[in-house]
Structure formats: structure tokens, C-alpha cells
Amino acid sequence: MQGHTGGVRGVTLSADGRLLASGSWDGTSRLWEARSGRPLGTLRGHTSGVWGVAMNAEGRLLASGSEDGMVRLWEASFADVAGDEASAGGTADSGQSPAASPSGISPERGEKLAARRADTGDSRATASNGGRLLATLHGHTSGVWGVALSADGRLLASGGQDGTVRLWQAPFADVEGDKASAGRTADSGRSPAASSSGERLRATLSGHTGPVYDVALSVDGRLLASGGLDRTVRLWDASSGRLLATLQSHAGLVCGVALSADGRLLASGNFDGTVELWQVPDGQPLATLTGHTGPVYGVALSADGKLLASGGLDGTVRLWDVSSGTCVRTLRSDRRYERMNITGVTGITAAQRAAMLALGAVDHQGPAGEALAGAQLT
């Protein structure tokens, strides 16, 4: 899947596995058809890179958290996953007909998108193929690094560089309407009753002594997990904001967290390359999974809690059997410099050249290349 112009920091799947959302350092979030990789739409509005994205169970709501300190909630009513090829993947800026427009958006559709942009009161926010901005949430004092949505989309959690976790109460705006309240900002300094829009800051949870890298909500929205630089995973009662347990990771800073559907199992991905499993709610450590050779930035649990996926800086995704703690499969992407031709490249050291070759680069002037050239000449 190609389209982002910067590194991809966050990905998420809808509950049925049909939709995939991605957030990037280019400041956009994109929605894709997971099976085919077909682009469905692009959400623009953040003024800095997007660290995290989350969808509700239906895939109709998308939350994005950014280095700009904002959380944005979008209605992701893009082109139908089963079809609508003509309008897939466009941007909201074109007024041409589908036949002539590189974005594939009709004039009528473009007018609707422009109206939606005006509804939000944010001229920077655009969404192609029918998405619209529902809310821009202010409150964090620095970058937002993790976001999570409950299955029904009525509770949103965000964690940030300021060391806080914030809980936002829905409804922000009904997915089918309520445009009057869509897209206005929440003033975190006022009580929920004083907010002029549908969204409310429900609670600000303090306790972490450093940035919060990731947050996760149980399916029913009752349990919240957060992990961060202070080497802890914290479990919270999402309804009251009460801290239930502080789990001390022996493995260094916590980069990613995930909760099983039944809320009884928690997984954390750690900077030292391990994955830790914990029993919930008592926080009893169950297992430490080893195999990655670099930091583990993302973890996810299957719906039945029997399979765990972890993604790391070593370029692998590993699938684990939770009950035994064994790695059942390792998925490898292309190495960073796969097939890059560095023949004759100057300005790099021998060590750098060796490292690039180990990561897939090719050098036809090396010993193997010289031998090949000699064979071709003869």
C-alpha cells in the first residue's frame, strides 16, 4: 500500500478485518481496503505527523492523534469497500468530473466535501470520498502518541508526551447527522456541562512520570491500559478514572499495549525487544516472549485472545501462541535497502557499506560483482 509521503507510525484494522487505517509523519491518515490494498480516502488537517490511529468496531469512526497535540475524530464514510472504484482514493480538492479529475471526485461530491469542511470550522481539515471531521479535541499540552476507541465509539482515550491519559465522552456527533455539533473543539478548562459541542472531556488521568506512548481500551470500554517511558503499564477503570494497578516492566520503556476482547489479558511491547503478558485485573505477570532483535513498537491480540502479533524495528512481525508463549510464525518485510544499487557510491565508510549490504543493498563492484563481470567477459 503506497500513498503516504512520510513514514507510517500507526495502523489499525476494523473488527471485521475489511478496513485498514494508517497514520503517517506526512500529517495524514489514510483508509484502505485491507484485502486488496485499494485506497479509499485521505484525512487531512493535522499540522504535524500522526502518531496513532484507532477505529471503532464498525470502522465508521476514526480517531487520530498527532504531534501537533490534537486528537481528531472523523466519520470515515468513504467509498464502499465492495466497489465504487471510480471515486476511490481521491482528495477533496478537485472540482473536475471523475473522467478528467485525477482524484476521481465529481463536482457534486466536491461541493459536499467543501460544505463539510465549512461545517467543522477548520479550514485545514479535509476528507476525501465522504469522510468528515466530527471533532478536534484540545487538552494535551504536547504531542499525542496513542489513541483508542471503544467498540461502540462512545469513549475515546488519548495518551501523550505530557504524561497524561485523557478520556473523552461521546456522543461527539451522531454518525448519521447532528451536524450542528460536529467538529467544534472541546475546552479542557471547562466542565463538561459548559462545553458548547457534543464532545466532553471526561477525565484527565495522571500517574505516569514520563510520556505515554500507547493506550488501549477493552471492547466494552470499561478497562483502560496505558504504557510509557516510565517503564510501567497502568490499568484504569475507564468509567471512574480510578487507577486499578501499576505493572512494573522489567524490560525498559513500554512502546505498545493491547487488551484481549474479554479484558482478562494484557500484552505490552517493549523497547528491549520483548513482549510481556499480564493477567488482568490483578497484574500478575504470565510470560515474557523473546525473539525480536529490536524494539517492539506494536502489539495486537486476536478476538479470542489465543494469538498475539508483535511488530518490531527488526523488520519482522511475529505471531505467538499465547497459551504456550511460542512463536508460531515470523513475517519479514523487505529489508530496508533491498535491491538498492550502491555500486560506485562514495562518501560512505566501509562499515556503512557493509551494513547497507546486510540490509539488502547490492554492490556490483565488490568481489562477487568483479567475478561476475569477469565471467561475462570470457
Mean pLDDT (whole number) for 5-10: 86
Where exactly are the structural domains of the chain?
8-332, 338-378
Question: Taking 80 as the threshold, does the pLDDT of residue 364 lie above it?
Answer: no
CA-nearest of 212, 303, 292 to 263 is: 303
Residue 49, amino acid: G
For residues 222 and 91, what is the distance between their CA atoms, to the nearest angstrom? 37
More confident residue, 65 or 58: 65
Per-residue confidence (pLDDT) for residue 96, from 0 to 100:
28
Residue 180 binned pLDDT confidence (cut-offs 50, 70, 90): very low
Contact present, 197 and 184 (Cβ < 8 Å) = yes
Q: What is the mean predicted confidence (pLDDT) over 52-74?
A: 93
Give which of 76, 27, 34 is closest to 54, Cα–Cα: 76
> Which pLDDT score, from 0 to 100, does residue 353 have?
85
- pLDDT value at residue 175: 40
Report the C-alpha gap between 245 and 132 in whole angstroms. 38
Alpha-carbon distance of 95 to 103, in angstroms, equals 9
Among the ranges given (68-72, 94-98, 186-190, 371-375), the one the predictor scored with the smallest mean pLDDT:
94-98
What's the whole-number mean pLDDT along residues 41-54? Answer: 93
H helix intervals, the chain: 107-120, 350-358, 367-377
Answer yes or no: CATH 3.20.20.70 is held by domain 8-332: no
Is-contact 23 43, C-beta < 8 A?
Answer: no
Judge whether residue 157 has pLDDT over 50: yes
pLDDT for 78 = 56
Query: Is the link from the previous residue into 171 a cis peptide, with omega within 30 of 0?
Result: yes
Q: How many helices (H) and strands (E) does the chain have?
A: 3, 26
Whether the per-residue pLDDT at 169 is higher than 90: the answer is no
Lowest mean pLDDT among 120-129, 156-165, 202-211: 120-129
- Structure confidence at residue 370 (pLDDT): 34
Tell me the average pLDDT across 284-292.
Answer: 94
**What pLDDT is stored for residue 104 in this prediction?**
27
More confident residue, 76 or 175: 76
What are the tens digits of pLDDT across the range 295-318?
A: 999 999 998 999 999 998 888 899
Cβ distance 292 to 309 under 8 Å? no
φ and ψ at 376, to 5 degrees?
-70, -35
Please give the mean pLDDT across all residues of the chain: 77
pLDDT over threshold 50, residue 350: yes
The rounded distance, in Å, linking the Cα atoms of 245 and 243 is 6
Residue 117, pLDDT above cutoff 80: no
Mean local confidence (pLDDT), 195-223 = 85
pLDDT of residue 274: 95
Other CB atoms within a 10 A radius of the CB of residue 309 amount to: 18
Task: Give the pTM.
Answer: 0.72
